[in-house]
Amino acid sequence: MSEKIQKIIDEISNLTVVELNSLIKSLEDKFGISAMPAAAVNVAAAPSAAPEAASSVVDLLLVDAGANKINVIKVIKELNPNISLKDAKDIADNPPQKVAEKLERAKAEEFKKKFEAAGAKVEIK
């Protein structure tokens, strides 16, 4: 190790934690880098891959609109704002129907709860 680098290391070791944190942030900003080690990045990326596989793309199927179709139509329109009110009513009146295709699982779960709150029965496929 060069004498210059050793001097820098000695200076850094005399810094407080707050000063060291400030130094790290300043270096990251100046050089456009992250102080996170590459191994930590890979470890962090691995767990997120599993939820992505679990949160695959799914379809949402309206099995039964229930007694309160108006609220179900509102949820259908919220999920598919580009469809007409008539099309949303037709879906609610004629189950089973696909309400949405190729949704992320998390979004499908969210809308399943909304449909169930409106009195409808839906399936995620």
pLDDT value, residue 49: 47
pLDDT value, residue 43: 46
Burial class (CB in 10 A: 0-12, 13-18, 19+), 75: buried
Is residue 20 scored above 60 in pLDDT?
yes
Residues 82 and 110 in one domain: yes
Residues 45 and 77 in one domain: no
Tell me the C-alpha distance between 113 and 116, whole Å: 5
Looking at 53-62, 87-96, 108-117, which range is the least confident one?
53-62
pLDDT value, residue 101: 85
3-class SS of residue 61 = strand
Tell me the C-alpha distance between 81 and 87, whole Å: 11
Nearest alpha-carbon partner for 114 in 70, 76, 82: 76
Residues 60 and 119 in one domain: yes
Tell me the C-alpha distance between 100 and 122, whole Å: 11
Domain limits for position 11: 3-51
Confidence of residue 13 (pLDDT cuts 50, 70, 90): confident
Confidence of residue 38 (pLDDT cuts 50, 70, 90): very low
Q: Centre a 10 Å sphere on the Cβ of residue 56 and count the other Cβ atoms it contains.
A: 9
Is residue 50 scored above 70 in pLDDT?
no
Residues 120 and 75 in one domain: yes
pLDDT value, residue 106: 87
Q: For the chain, how far is it from start to end, CA to CA, in angstroms?
A: 60
Residues 26 and 78 in one domain: no
Query: What's the whole-number mean pLDDT along residues 105-117?
Result: 89
| CATH number for the domain harbouring residue 85 | 3.30.1390.10
